[in-house]
Amino acid sequence: MPRPILVTVHGAALRHNLDRARRAALDSRVWAVVKANAYGHGIERVFEHFRAADGFALLDLDEAERVRALGWRGPILLLEGVFEARDLELCSRLGLWHAVHCDAQIDMLAAHKTQVPQRVFLKMNSGMNRLGFAPERFRSAWTRLNALPQVDEISLMTHLSDADGPRGIAHQTEVFERVTQDLPGERSVANSAATLRHAGQTRADWVRPGIMLYGGVPDFPEHDAAHWQLQPAMTLSTRLIGVQTLKAGDTIGYGSSFTAEGPLRIGIAAVGYADGYPRHCTTGTPVLVDGVRTRMVGRVSMDMITVDLTPVPQAGFGSEVTLWGRASAGAELPIDEVARAAGTVGYELMCAVARRVPVAGD
């Protein structure tokens, strides 16, 4: 028997969330962002459910090849563009659209021998200060690209730093709109947070939702999944493989970081940091046992955690443990809550599920 740990990817939730993104996007077309192996859900597993998207956006050329191998003939966008000159050959062969964010990428295009001109998304650094041309250099980059026979249509994109928070997007969208106002081409600006919180505030031919498609909330804890009508697409579950009964003064696990104040029944669950459950989770992190909410106690080990069975006295060997997502009985534990307890975001937990954890669809 393999260990009882399992990721379940909920197809109906993926379809629901994509539909939710489409409604929030108003008239914009929707890139389903499937980078990082579809935020840890598996590109092959989510593909069928995202067929209604207008295109797939990702970073790895290897992932682009996998999407084409699944039979997708529509647009695929490389969000970081190419990394070396020969990547452009793959773009030609697979018909990939790619971001152009720096001079080195324009140099590579200028030297590229191709029969088929390529569709590019010229990226502006409108304040995020990661990738993209500074506003004052954007137009000269556009002019240079526009003169290349290797380049077909030029679309314009930027990325937002604060769509999920109080600073908002206006400081960036004003720059982007001012610099691009008389340039032709389609625009793409919004991630999940901007799609949900700032719809209609800037012209957008394409939106780029990622986390919301998987049921993660970009602005948790200000809002939760119920507020945005998102459904969790991933459940991480396991089972109890042991039970201990403690008396006052007994301690748990490495470093004896938890001491029982009185009699306490604890369950040992088959999940640890080697599965991607964050070691930063400490006593108090929420967990469901048989669908009942309880808490983790003590430290996360490589292959095990310990949970307080006080609210579930009937639980024992084999009881279902839900680390995040949906229990069989229907109760839900939002990934965002667990992420918060670990001092991180739902994105990281989804992406960090380890390869040794089997994945099933439902």
Binding site for ligand PLP (CB under 6 A): 33, 35, 79, 159, 191-193, 208-211, 218
CB of 229 to ligand PLP, least distance (A): 16
Nearer to ligand PLP, 42 or 253 (CB): 42
Active-site annotation holder among 39, 123, 214, 254: 254
Tokens matching residue 125: 């650094």
Rounded Cα–Cα distance for residues 106 and 249 (Å): 66
CB of 17 to ligand PLP, least distance (A): 11
Nearer to ligand PLP, 218 or 276 (CB): 218
Is 35 assigned a catalytic role?
A: yes
- CB atoms under 10 Å from CB of 107, counted, come to 12
Measured N-to-C along each axis, helices 135-146 and 170-180 cross at an angle, to the nearest 10 degrees, of 40
Closest to 321 (Cα-Cα) out of 59, 2, 6, 1: 6
Q: Which residue shows structure tokens 């502006």? A: 124
Nearer to ligand PLP, 128 or 243 (CB): 128
Residue number of the CB atom closest to ligand PLP = 210
CB 125 within 8 A of CB 131: yes
CB of 158 to ligand PLP, least distance (A): 9
Listing DSSP states for 137-184 in one string gives: HHHHHHHHHHT-TTEEEEEEEE--S-TTSTT-SHHHHHHHHHHHTT--
Rounded Cα–Cα distance for residues 308 and 340 (Å): 19
CB 31 within 8 A of CB 50: no
For the four alpha carbons of 164, 23, 34 and 9, in that order, the dihedral sign comes to positive
Instruction: Write a three-state SS string for 45-64.
Output: HHHHHHCCCCEEEECCHHHH
CB of 48 to ligand PLP, least distance (A): 20
> Collapsing DSSP states into helix, strand and coil, what is residue 356?
coil
Tokens matching residue 251: 């301690």
CB of 210 to ligand PLP, least distance (A): 3
Rounded Cα–Cα distance for residues 197 and 186 (Å): 21
CB of 28 to ligand PLP, least distance (A): 13
Active-site annotation holder among 35, 39, 277, 347: 35
Nearer to ligand PLP, 33 or 120 (CB): 33
Rounded Cα–Cα distance for residues 218 and 229 (Å): 13
Nearer to ligand PLP, 118 or 195 (CB): 195
Rounded Cα–Cα distance for residues 234 and 230 (Å): 12
Is 254 assigned a catalytic role?
A: yes
Assign 3-state DSSP to the chain and report helix, strand, coil percentages, each to 5: 30, 25, 45
Nearer to ligand PLP, 33 or 252 (CB): 33
Instruction: Write a three-state SS string for 289-309.
Output: ECCEEEEEECCCCCCCEEEEC
CB of 193 to ligand PLP, least distance (A): 6
Nearer to ligand PLP, 40 or 272 (CB): 40
Residues annotated as catalytic (active site), given as ranges: 35, 254
